[in-house]
Amino acid sequence: MNNTEKELLKMIADIDGTPSGAFNIRANGALSARHITENVDIKEKAGVSGIEIIIKPNTVGEKIHIPVIISQSGLTEMVYNDFIIGDNCDVEIVAGCGIHNCGSEESRHDGIHTFFVGKNAKVKYVEKHVGEGDGEGGKNMNPTTVINIDDGGYMEMETTQIKGIDSTKRITKARLSDNATLIVKEKLMTHGSQYAETDFTVDLDGENSSANVISRSVAKDRSNQLFVSRINGNNVCTGHTECDAIIMDDAHVSALPQITANHIDAALIHEAAIGKIAGEQLIKLMTLGLSEQQAEEQIVNGFLK
Amino acid sequence: MLELKNICFSAETEDGNEKQILKDVNLKIDDGFVVITGPNGGGKSTLAKIIAGIITPTSGQILLDGKDITNLSITERSNQGISFAFQQPVRFKGITVYDLISLAAGEEIDITKACGYLSQVGLCARDYINREVNASLSGGELKRIEIATVLARSTKVSIFDEPEAGIDLWSFNSLIKVFEKMHNTLGGSIIIISHQERILNIADKVVVIANGSVKDEGKKDDILPSLLHAADAACKVLTDALEV
């Protein structure tokens, strides 16, 4: 693995050297390194490109890394990864994809991640997307995440795309059983002429299930963002979706939160706000000695922290 | 020393007419406590914002230690040693109390030092240092954090626009102590816009601004009695009217 690839790996998965615990590193469309543990098995998926991550019931405290990097211009791939998280587990999974494209051809990573979260299991899923390289070729990613949470299960998904991805369509579909909980925290920044589309659909099927989908985004330059979030309350449940966007320069942002109650005891809330940086925020930071540009950076960095 | 020469400021009103907010204000502010007081709408806050560079005067000149700073930006004035505590503190999503104090100090300060500033304004630092400066904080809490940012800056000119507004009685006592300590340790000019008698009481100099002009200025002992007398008289008129 060369230095560019190592740097990418560090950025997307905080991997410096060899991670402890189970991991699977995919580089330029092929397996680069893999390690399994007694409780975490990782194997190739039959018939299609991708892996199966099987975590034994009652596994607690393990952290699993499954990063993907592409440094070869013109490489496009489609992978299917399945995560089977046993009952009563409490684990963290760090995914993420980094593309370094210096060439003129499109590099693209499309992935379908399917989660099966077992009864009373708890999982934190962290996903970071980064693109770099000054070639004319596009750096594109289209991740789809399908989430199934069994009774009493809990999943927290942290998804971040801070820079460099030219085009992305991120689809997340979740189905929750009784007493299951889903928390999604999305952070997104687009610049130049990038396009980012986010599409969440959460079905609160189970009694006392709950979902909280929070998105914070910043759109700079001429970039475009579309945020769609649908929460369907099909039982006694609570759902909240929030989109908060800062718009700058000549960017465009659309937010379409949609809540549907199919049950008398479904309590659903949506919030969406789009606005430029408040002038008084800039002034306050300027009275502390920051230039207007530095003030803007601080506000954006804080917002996406 | 801060000097304001012939400061005028006009603004357009909603009905399109021009309103003169400040008319030919001349002021010399030496080191020490200067309290600017006067009726609401008299132009006090506008004057403070003109000193900080947030509002540009229509005409006139501002000198800091003899140097003309009239055309300097907010950032440049800040770097020349002017600090400003807003009457209504600004909220930020994601920026923590620690971040704000660190930015004010101009460097990454250690947590103990940041907590020190918060303790001075009567906040239990541990509970606040990692909180976001957002709508979850009350008006009074934000106000104290605002004052802490000015403390962290330690500049030669510190302006506080109605620092006591929204602060409870207990904190008010510590607020007075904060200003006294600033005065003793920092020196420089501490300019406070206030209506509070107890803040007027610690002033070296009192400036009365009404209808956009300096109505009166001088040592506290010379100005305060007539100010309080005027206030008593106004109250008497009101009491008499109620009794009739």
Contact A160, A189 (CB under 8 A): no
Q: Is B86 on the interface with A (CB under 8 A)?
A: yes
pLDDT at B71: 95
Q: Rounded CA gap, A115 and A83, in Å?
A: 5
CATH number of the domain at B238, please. 3.40.50.300
CA dihedral (B5, B8, B9, B10) in degrees, to 10, reads -170
Please give the ipTM for the structure prediction: 0.91
- With contacts defined as CB-CB under 8 Å, which chain A residues touch B82? 287
Q: Residue B168 domain-assigned?
A: yes
A213: tokens are: 């989908």
Chain A residue numbers with beta carbons less than 8 Å from the beta carbon of B86 are 280, 284
The model's pTM is: 0.85
Please state the separation of Cα B195 from the chain's center in Å: 11
The answer to whether A281 contacts B92, with C-beta atoms less than 8 Å apart, is yes
**B95 with A302: Cβ contact below 8 A:** yes
Chain A contact probe: residue of B50, B75, B102, B159 with most A CBs at under 10 A: B75
On whether residue B106 sits in a domain, the answer given is no
Q: Per residue of chain A (305 residues), what is the pLDDT tens digit?
A: 777 777 777 777 777 777 788 999 888 888 888 999 999 999 999 888 999 999 999 999 999 999 888 888 888 888 999 999 999 999 999 998 888 877 778 888 888 999 999 999 999 999 988 888 777 777 888 899 999 999 999 999 999 987 788 899 999 999 999 999 999 999 999 999 999 999 999 999 999 999 999 999 999 999 999 999 999 999 999 999 999 999 999 999 999 999 999 999 999 999 999 999 999 999 999 999 999 999 999 999 999 98
Q: Which residues in chain B are contacts of A288 at CB distance < 8 A? A: 78, 100, 103-104, 106, 149, 153
Can you tell me whether residue A135 is helix, strand or coil?
coil
Decide if B118 is inside a domain.
no
Distance, C-alpha A304 to centroid of its chain: 13
Helix (H) or strand (E) holding A146: strand A139-149
- Asked if residue B10 is part of any domain, the answer here is yes
A279 touches chain B (CB under 8 A): no
Residue B137 host element (H or E): none
* Inside any domain, residue B149: no
Residue B188 lies in a domain: yes
pLDDT digits (tens, 9 = 90+) for B102-136: 999 988 888 888 888 898 888 877 888 899 999 89
Are the Cβ atoms of B78 and A288 closer than 8 angstroms?
yes
The boundaries of the domain holding residue B7 are 2-88+156-243
Q: Is A281 on the interface with B (CB under 8 A)?
A: yes
Instruction: Kindly report the nearest CA distance between residue A293 and chain B, in angstroms.
Output: 11
Report yes or no: B135 at the A interface, CB cutoff 8 Å. no
Cβ <8 Å between B93 and A303: yes
Contacts A–B by Cβ distance under 8 A: 59
Please list, in sequence order, all residues whose beta carbon lies within 8 angstroms of the beta carbon of residue B190, skipping any fewer than 6 positions away.
B32, B33, B34, B158, B160, B179, B182, B183
Cβ-in-10-Å burial (0-12, 13-18, 19+) of A304 comes to middle
Q: How far is B119 from chain A (nearest CA, A)?
A: 20
* Residue showing tokens 């963002």: A225
Residue B220 maps to a domain: yes
- Report if residue B25 sits inside a domain: yes
Count of domains for chain B: 1
CB–CB of B103 and A288 under 8 A? Answer: yes
